[in-house]
Amino acid sequence: MPRVSLSYDNEQVAAVLEEIADLSDLKGENPFRGVTYRAVARAIRDLREPLRTLMEQKRLDTIPKVGPAVQEAIEQLLTTGRSKRHEDLKAQVPQGLLTLLRVPGVGPATARVIHEHLRITTIDELEEAAQSGKLRSLPKIQAKTEENILKAIASLKRRTGRALVVDARAVASDMVGWIRGRCDLQQVEIAGSLRRWRETIGDIDIVVAAAEPGPVMDAFIAAPEVEQVLARGDTKSSVIAGRGLQIDLRVVAPASFGAALLYFTGSKEHNVHMRGLALKRKLLLNEYGLYRVGEENGTPVASRTEEEVFAALGMDWIPPELREDRGEIEAALAHDLPDLVTLADIRGDLHAHTSWTDGRDSVADMAARARAKGYEYLALTDHSVGLGMTHGLDLARIRARTKEIEAANVALAPFRILVGSEVDIRSNGQLDYEDELLALFEVVTASVHSSFAQPRDVMTKRILGAMEHPRVNAISHPTGRLLEKRDAYEVDLEAVIQVAVRTHTRLEVNGGPERLDLSDAAVRRAMDVGAMLVCNSDAHAVEELDQMEYAVATARRGWATKDRVQNTMPLKDLLLHLKGKG
């Protein structure tokens, strides 16, 4: 029987508050109620401590916009797992209207009109109505709206429902920590697609070496984050844990740990290729070891470590990020695997934001955290003025921020804060700042933040034009995608990569877990043709500087090497490269 979890975290509470806002709007209540609940949800996501702590210390009313009604809803969620306000609204709003809001571009008013006239409550029904032209006959819905709804539904259907790697890693790390804390184990490792750092994760695999599996399985199914036990066996157990993720735990004998870790890490294609390679050598590879054919019940040729198994096959050890059957097996056999960039190679971060625009923390706090990470430099690239929602910098504020950075540099030397900007590429292709303002920055990264639906040729021309500008050092999140939320805009990425090579413009691998943009496949193409990359966190708070780990992991999946990642350079070399784009 599924467990009822009352341990709502900040994200779960925020999600319910947002749904209350949606339901309130769908019911036609005062729109300020929805605005308030959404504002509180955003504030909760920005908190640096658990809501439960604030409740216990009677500090919930310190969260902006939290009044008695919102506070009551939060307390009910934290103590009972339900909110009376939420339940009442769900009972009053026609079933299925919330489903329509999942379609980007369908707001509460549009959803109400569609439901009132056509009684539509499912996305399939909405798609059928749009395809048959029924929507455009409704009040305030035009043919263009109908067309956009069809595009949005197509995009929605392309989503996988998989978890972002950051969420899966948090759940897996908690489980590994729990098991380690209750069992005396030397070998507990995350495996599967999560060990390969895929951008989205279907389920989580954990491999444990233990002589006695029983206590490990007992600890596993008793973990506080477990919501449902799917199966409990002697060597494999499965549960549903936090965020609805399935975790499969496999316990093997210590002598088989390396073979098991190898077996449960590679993609299906990689593993098939590996087993075929073994058979050509009259060997059998499985999760227990590498055996001579016909001696599967005997002593394995290799099994204890991954390195032993790879070596027995005449191969170099393959980094987990590469185990996708994209040429890594051939390279390992030829002893020609790339020397992948590592997190330790990173000397600084060239894309981060402060409270001057849409960041949460000050110049000093961001710089102090970057220096504490061992960096030599940090570029603060607050937004340009045209992006109104971010409170972008005008000339007066650019100068004021520069003075603050100069003072911080004196205090933090030899660490260096670089004066930077994330400059918007407007829909007409123009940069958001004139040349005389761009000259005020040491680092300029250009980005698209609007008009995502432009035709492919228009969007491509827009980005290529920015790359031709001598002051633009890099293009940030070059495809604009938001994983599981928004498709990449239409752009000729091959042309972008080719022009990046010619103009010496760096292409960013953005570490925001919802972006990871460029993708691993695009990084591989950039590596093939000689483009330079830059791995950035795109941090909007001190803790988000740690997102560099995801940028580097994505770059590694694309076979990126240290010499092709700009911010592995020491400060002295970096400054030379920034002038004239290197």
The domain total for the chain is 3
Provide the token pair at 68. Answer: 């008695």
Statement to judge: residues 72 and 135 lie in one domain:
yes
Statement to judge: residues 410 and 509 lie in one domain:
yes
Residue ranges of the chain with per-residue pLDDT less than 70? 1-7, 580-582
- The CATH number assigned to the domain holding 438 equals 3.20.20.140
Statement to judge: residues 356 and 287 lie in one domain:
no
Cα–Cα distance for residue pair 127/119, rounded to 1 Å: 13
Predicted confidence at residue 5, as pLDDT, reads: 45
Contacts of 380 (CB under 8 A, 6+ apart): 352, 353, 354, 356, 363, 366, 367, 401, 405, 417, 418, 419, 420
Cα–Cα distance for residue pair 347/319, rounded to 1 Å: 22
Helix (H) or strand (E) holding 82: none
Radius of gyration of the chain (CA): 26
Predicted confidence at residue 81, as pLDDT, reads: 87
Statement to judge: residues 154 and 169 lie in one domain:
no
Q: Is residue 338 part of a domain?
A: no
Predicted confidence at residue 580, as pLDDT, reads: 62
Nearest Cα neighbor of 378 from 340, 409, 345 is 409
Cα–Cα distance for residue pair 446/164, rounded to 1 Å: 25
Predicted confidence at residue 582, as pLDDT, reads: 52
- Determine the structural domain holding residue 246 and report its residue range: 164-333
Statement to judge: residues 247 and 365 lie in one domain:
no
Count Cβ atoms below 10 Å from residue 246 Cβ, excluding itself. Answer: 14
Statement to judge: residues 292 and 195 lie in one domain:
yes
Q: Is residue 492 part of a domain?
A: yes
